[in-house]
Every structure is written in C-alpha cells, then in structure tokens.
Amino acid sequence: EVRLDVLQYRGARVPQTHGRQRVFPKECEQLGSWLFSGLHPQRGKCVPFTVTFAIDADGILHLYANETGQSHSLEVRMDTTI
C-alpha cells in the first residue's frame, strides 16, 4: 500500500528539486491524499509505479498512477482548482 500526497507549494521562495534547497511541508498546502493499494511487490523489493499529473483549462488537477508492468491503476480528479 502506497500513500500519495499532493501538495501545492505556497512558500515565498522558488522551490528547487535539486541541490541542498528543498521544499518544506510547512510551506505547502495539502490538496489531497490517496491510498494506492493492491500492490504485490516481491519480498524485499520496491514497487515501481508512474504518477502523472495534468491540469485542465479550468484549473482542475487530474492524477493518474500506474504500477509499472501491472494492471493496477489509480485515477483521481481534484475538484479544487489550482
């Protein structure tokens, strides 16, 4: 079981995904949290999966998660505009 948390950055500085600076959770607003269950990893192994986000013209966030090589998937539509 994997929990996916979607956070929107609200901090004063520009977030970076590399180097020593990082986005701190206190600077983010939680938009949603979902459980991705039904995963069957081999003992001691990680489950690879791909998460894709899309924002439509109305600012609605769509989240798609697929387990690599398996049929397990999760599709969520956020009703909150971004």
Per-residue pLDDT tens digits for 42-75: 677 777 778 888 888 888 888 888 877 777 777 7
Cross-strand partners of 32: 6
CATH number at residue 66: 2.60.34.10
The tens digit of pLDDT for each residue in 3-22 reads 777 777 776 666 555 555 56
Residue whose entry in the numeric block shows the structure tokens 């996916």: 4
Q: Is 23 exposed, middle or buried (0-12, 13-18, 19+ CB in 10 A)?
A: middle
Q: In the chain, how many domains are there?
A: 1
Domain span at residue 53 reads 2-81
Specify the pTM.
0.53
Alpha-carbon distance of 82 to 31, in angstroms, equals: 9
